Chain A
Amino acid sequence: MASADKLINTDVPEKDVFALHFLQSLSNLKTQNPLNSPAKSIDRVRKIKKAAYVSMARAAGGTSRLWSRALLRRAAKDDNKSVRFSRRKRKVTWKISSKRRKSNNQRAPVVEEAAERLRNLVPGGGGMETSKLMEETAHYIKCLSMQVKVMQCLVDGLSQK
């Protein structure tokens, strides 16, 4: 029982870490396209959103989590950078999980259907088995709520000004 409890370790760093990373990535964003560039607002939104997610993934421990790995990989793909992670491991997990998912669908269709939807939501969730998915989801939710708080604070501070 104790070993199973150890598995569920979703410690999330402090809010300040998230804030710092977010600010860092925002300033990076600023250096990428200078102040008065005529960037479209949609593009800007997209970039800020991406910065938020990437900074969240970094603050949450870089590549230690599957979802943060997936997020960073996606970001790297967007930037046409070379992908930093080895892909072999992921392929293997995909094979296993695709097999398992097939058999799972026979077992409990309702739960598995919901889990499937959750897989689409959590980044990198496509190749996870259900128990791993739950763990990653827990961590992801914690980080996401933290990020939301940080962004809310930022918006509040700026709009007050």
Chain B
Amino acid sequence: MLEGLVSQESLSLNSMDMSVLERLKWVQQQQQQLQQVVSQSINNSPELLQILQFHGSNNDEFLQSSFSQFQMLGSGFGPNYNMGFGPPLEALDECISRTSSCHMEPVDTMEVLLKTGEENRAIALKNKRKPEVKKREEEKTEKKIKVEAETESSMKGKSNMRNTEASSDTSKETSKGASEIQKLDYIHVRARRGQATDRHSLAERARREKISKKMKYLQDIVPGCNKVTGKAGMLDEIINYVQCLQRQVEFLSMKLAVLNPELELAVEDISVKQFQAYFTNVTASKQSIMVDVPLFPLDQQGSLDLSAINPNQPTSIEAPSASWETQSQSLYNTSSLGFHY
């Protein structure tokens, strides 16, 4: 019964070349009709409920549009319903916004009707709102997780905000949506008792936690850093280590420069042989490479003791002792990618 009416409405509205006046008139007519229909259908509510639920569950564009007609009349609940429908209904939304001034009174009556009617219908309507409400609730729970020690007043404020959202304030809705997106990629921060819960403090705490986590990681890498307590001391140690390594590179390049004439010859030999070995024979065995490059004991580097140069350095920076084959395999892969700079 209702469906037939509504679908006709939607069809007639889809012809968008009506004049504004015509549209206004037409909308008022439809509202009156629908009010009648609703008041009739209070008696046989299960049917309406069914229809409404059907509308809510079905994704057919036609049905959606027809349902949005119904919403148009009940737009006192806000234009929020139309949010999920997508671009084809934007034109209709415009329609609603244009005619919203004229059907404010019937809307109120509609609301009253629905409220005085069965709860079921309201629930059925709510089915439409479910995704949104769910989102909000998710956000709420997230917030709860984030801020355990949330004060009661802020909770009240939030609930108030929710109420105002439920009213048809689109600007607020959009801003809220933006903040939702922001909050989704948030890091969970827990506030213990006595800790501040405003945004800046939370962000600052998250940042500090991030930094300290990475500091711990650095502490594992940099030798001799475990004994030092305090961030400043740790950073000093890290700085010293980096400086030491950089100086080492400089020193070694000086050494290489001294050995330069030899080096250039040797490099030529080594590089040619090594490249041949690597690129022609990827799965070369360890022996063949060792025969090719006897003076460059790459595979013995693991046993090389750097403690003579840097007494602080333990063996924590050892390369993973993979088999030679996998090493050369990975080398082949990476170098074939890496040589085209």
Contact = CB atoms under 8 A, between A and B. Distances in A.
Interface of A: 3-4, 8, 10, 13-17, 19-21, 23-24, 26-27, 30, 35, 41, 44-45, 48-49, 51-53, 58-59, 61-62, 72, 107-108, 110-111, 114-115, 117-118, 121-122, 130-131, 134-135, 137-138, 140-142, 144-161
Interface string B279-323: 000000000000000011110110010100100010001010010
Interface string B244-272: 01101110111111111111101110110
A72 B280 CA distance: 29
Interface stretch (B36-44, B123-131, B212-220): B212-220
A35 B274 contact: no
Interface string B327-339: 1101100110011
Contact residues of A: prevailing secondary structure: helix
A118 B235 contact: yes
A156 B309 CA distance: 13
Contacts of B339: 24
A14 B319 contact: yes
B11 interface: no
B341 A62 contact: yes
A150 B300 CA distance: 11
A158 B259 contact: yes
Contacts of A8: 213-214, 217
A118 B211 contact: no
Interface of B: 187, 204, 207, 210-211, 213-215, 217-218, 221-222, 231-232, 235-236, 238-239, 241-243, 245-246, 248-250, 252-264, 266-268, 270-271, 274, 278, 295-298, 300-301, 304, 306, 309, 313, 317, 319, 322, 327-328, 330-331, 334-335, 338-339, 341
Contacts of A155: 252, 255-256, 259
A149 B306 contact: yes
Nearest to A115: B235
A130 B253 CA distance: 31
Contacts of B217: 8, 10, 134, 138
A144 B245 CA distance: 6
A114 to B, nearest CB: 4
A8 B212 CA distance: 12
B239 A52 contact: no
Contacts of B245: 141, 144-145, 148
Given A15-B298, A16-B327, A26-B263, A48 B222 contact: no
A41 B257 contact: yes
B232 A114 contact: yes
Given A111-B231, A138-B218, A131 B331 contact: no
Most buried by A among B207, B231, B236, B267: B267
A15 B328 CA distance: 11
B314 to A, nearest CB: 11
Given A131-B214, A138-B217, A144 B249 contact: yes
Given A141-B245, A142-B221, A118 B255 contact: no
Contact of A131 (B207, B236, B258): B207
30 contacts: A4-B210, A10-B221, A19-B298, A20-B274, A21-B335, A21-B338, A23-B270, A23-B271, A30-B268, A41-B258, A44-B257, A45-B257, A53-B249, A107-B204, A110-B232, A130-B207, A137-B242, A138-B214, A138-B217, A138-B221, A140-B242, A142-B317, A144-B249, A145-B317, A147-B249, A148-B245, A153-B300, A155-B252, A158-B295, A159-B259
A152 B304 contact: yes
Contacts of A161: 262, 266, 295
Contact of B268 (A27, A115, A121): A27
